[in-house]
Amino acid sequence: MTDDDPPGLDLARLRERLDRDLPGLVAGSLCAQVIAGGRSNLTYRVTDGSTRWVVRRPPLGHVLPTAHDMAREHRVISALYGTGVPVPRTVLLCDDPGVIGAPFYVMEFVEGTPYRTEDELVALGPERTRSIGFGLVDTLVDLHSVDPAAIGLAGFGRPEGYLQRQLRRWKKQLDSSRSRELPGIDHLHDRLAAEVPDSGPAAIVHGDYRLDNVLVDADDRIGAVLDWEMSTLGDPLTDLALLVAYAQRDTTSLSVVSNASGAPGYPDTGAVVARYAERSGRDVSRLDWYVGFAFFKLAVILEGIHYRFDHGQTVGEGFAGIGNSVLPLVARGNTILDNVTRQED
């Protein structure tokens, strides 16, 4: 690598692989920069001066063996391309870690805006903001309506027992990242495990669906859904619940995610859930359990990022203090489940 290469991406080795597998694709010398906003897999904007691509690779250290699977992420994006779900066109998958130090894939660059802040949407006005918010929900419904078998994803996951496995997976991730006391997090896990709901029809699950993980085009439509690293086949209400949880950032000190849902015109939680239920036809009566699980999952994700930052294994900005959001997330998850218990009583 040279001093001009961004951390984790050797541009000379990348160029060699692109020239070998896709001769003629690259027309000039490559330059790249880390795309801000990602907290897990590393994302780079790469250009030869005339064409732009995006490169994705795992983080630089402390990786759970089953996480950050580039081939899996590449597979789901490739399968969804051409369906009603907007995704970039994939260009190359390289599963040889010897090229840049880890498996990676390349996809086309898609123009669009990943709205992250309330102020960005305020500038658009309430009407456009409301349209974007409902477009986000409608695109999620479109994703959940895709027949996995019809696009070659029948074996992409095991829907049976999905929620139980998710709990075990995130507990395992938590245990692998433990470096400090986290009061209440094991209690939250145990409460979730004791009341796992029966899942409805399975679907392709994104795993981290939110406004700043999509690109909005110039016509306020969802132009591309990004960051598929946690996608699988499973219970689609986990996606809806995470969307709801992200909108509660002000109750959890969750400063690392978008506050765009606070903009005038953005659909509130009731409107989001009603829109999804009406358009999908799915039963959302036990959504509170899923929202409680969403807060547990977010807490574990942020604790993992905190661990990597604390051990000098992250690149980019915005990681300092990220661990401060973990305990408020845990508390919010327990509060959601307290509400469920009171309603049942």
> Given this model, what pLDDT does residue 292 score?
97
- Confidence check: pLDDT of 122 > 90: yes
**Phi, psi dihedrals of residue 5, rounded to the nearest 5°:** -80, 140
CATH superfamily of 118-344: Aminoglycoside phosphotransferase (APH), C-terminal lobe (3.90.1200.10)
- Residue 13 structure tokens: 């080795």
The conformation of residue 203, written as its DSSP 8-state character, comes to E
Sequence-distant (6+) residues with CB within 8 A of 344 are: none
Least confident of 7-21, 69-83, 138-152, 305-319: 305-319
Sheet holding 42-47, edge to edge: 31-34, 42-47, 52-57, 104-108, 90-94
Instruction: Answer whether 0.85 is exceeded by the pTM.
Output: yes
Mean per-residue pLDDT for 256-263? 80
Which amino acid makes up residue 132? I
- Which is nearest to 306 in space by CA: 176, 177, 131, 118? 177
CATH class of 11-108: alpha beta
Q: In whole angstroms, what separates CA 176 from the centre of its chain? A: 20
- Confidence check: pLDDT of 141 > 90: yes
CA dihedral 162, 168, 174, 177 (to 10 degrees): -100
d(CA 23, CA 290): 47
If you search the block for the tokens 């075990």, which residue do you land on? 168
- Confidence check: pLDDT of 62 > 50: no
d(CA 291, CA 272): 14
- Return the higher-pLDDT residue of 79 and 302: 79
- Domains of the chain by residue range: 11-108, 118-344
Mean per-residue pLDDT for 117-134? 96
> What confidence tens digit (pLDDT) does each residue in 172-218 have?
999 998 889 899 999 999 999 999 999 999 999 999 999 999 999 99
**Domain 11-108 and domain 118-344 have a common topology:** no
How would you class 183 by CB atoms within 10 Å of its CB: exposed for 0-12, middle for 13-18, buried for 19 or more?
A: exposed
What band does 249 get if pLDDT is binned at 50, 70 and 90?
A: confident
